[in-house]
Amino acid sequence: MKVIFMGTPDFSVGALESIIEAGHEVVLVVTKEDKPKGRGQEMMFTPVKEAAIKHNIPVFQPHRIKDAENVSYLKEYGADIFIVVAYGQILSEEILNMPKYGCINVHASLLPKYRGAAPIQWAVINGEEVTGVTTMKMDMGIDTGDIIEKATYTLKEDETGGSLFDRLMELGGELIVSTMKKIEDGTAIFIKQNDEESTHTKMLEKSLGKIDFSKDAAEIERLVRGLNPWPSAYTSLNDKSLKIWKCKVVDGTYEGDFGEVVNITKNEMLVKTGNKCLSILELQLEGRKRMYIEDFLCGINIEEGTILGK
């Protein structure tokens, strides 16, 4: 099929590469505008743009995809299908109806659950045992279109937002190729979503990562995993930011305040929470590199009774 691909972040690249590898003709890649990044504010290409350049595919980066001149530009390519994976702009009805086979989206959840932003991280934070990816035919709603296919994935006990991202990116690439084949040969089945079963997620903000030690240790541990690698879970130590990269739940009841270091050895630091304790395994103090707890404790003096986040 002749394809226009719309996507922006790393997650989109897996689908683009799979479509190209399957032999489809990607005639245009649409992605968000380049943004300045880092101290030097150097303009950075989106991951999808980098992939398109590698394959010598034309790139289109409109400020507002719904503007009339941009809609006309898309029409010129006569694409059979638009594939949309985390593009970052809302498409107009005119664009949705433009290609012969419509606009097909890859969403990183088992719809109608986790419509909206950041479904990967929220699946970890909320303790889901199973998640996956869904392909759907887009309509004017947010992730409300008819479902075509799903692929499921069982989360591991130590699953992080980063590891789940990688696995679902791979699954999404496999699923979109399967879906495109079914659409092309007329065997695709379109199933209307049950809105009553839908749940919605919100975008991740850095403030979400601030650890509330009055909460259950298991809830905090899931937050740490879900926000790894971005935006990360954090607290503070002696007025310096302290990122927690890895921890585990430990049974035990201790007297003291929430966030208090209640037991410390050369290679372990236990912190009191609202229920049970957290053993901190990997962390990073502001201005220092990421360390395992035993290395961290060699260079930083922390005493029992210290309260994190105070």
Indicate the CATH number for domain 206-299.
Answer: 3.10.25.10
State the pLDDT at residue 120: 98
- What pLDDT is recorded for position 273? 97
2-201 with 206-299: one CATH topology?
no
pTM of this prediction?
0.95
| 198 exposure class (CB count in 10 Å sphere: 0-12, 13-18, 19+) | middle
Q: What is the pLDDT along the chain (310 residues), one digit of tens a residue?
A: 999 999 999 999 999 999 999 999 999 999 999 988 777 778 899 999 999 999 999 999 999 999 999 999 999 999 999 999 999 999 999 999 999 999 999 999 999 999 999 999 999 999 999 999 999 999 999 999 999 999 999 999 999 999 999 999 999 999 999 999 999 999 999 999 999 999 999 999 999 999 999 999 999 999 999 999 999 999 999 999 999 999 999 998 899 999 999 999 999 999 999 999 999 999 999 999 999 999 999 999 999 999 999 8
Give the CATH superfamily of 2-201: Formyl transferase, N-terminal domain (3.40.50.170)
Domain residue spans of the chain:
2-201, 206-299
User: How confident is the model at residue 123, as a pLDDT?
Assistant: 98
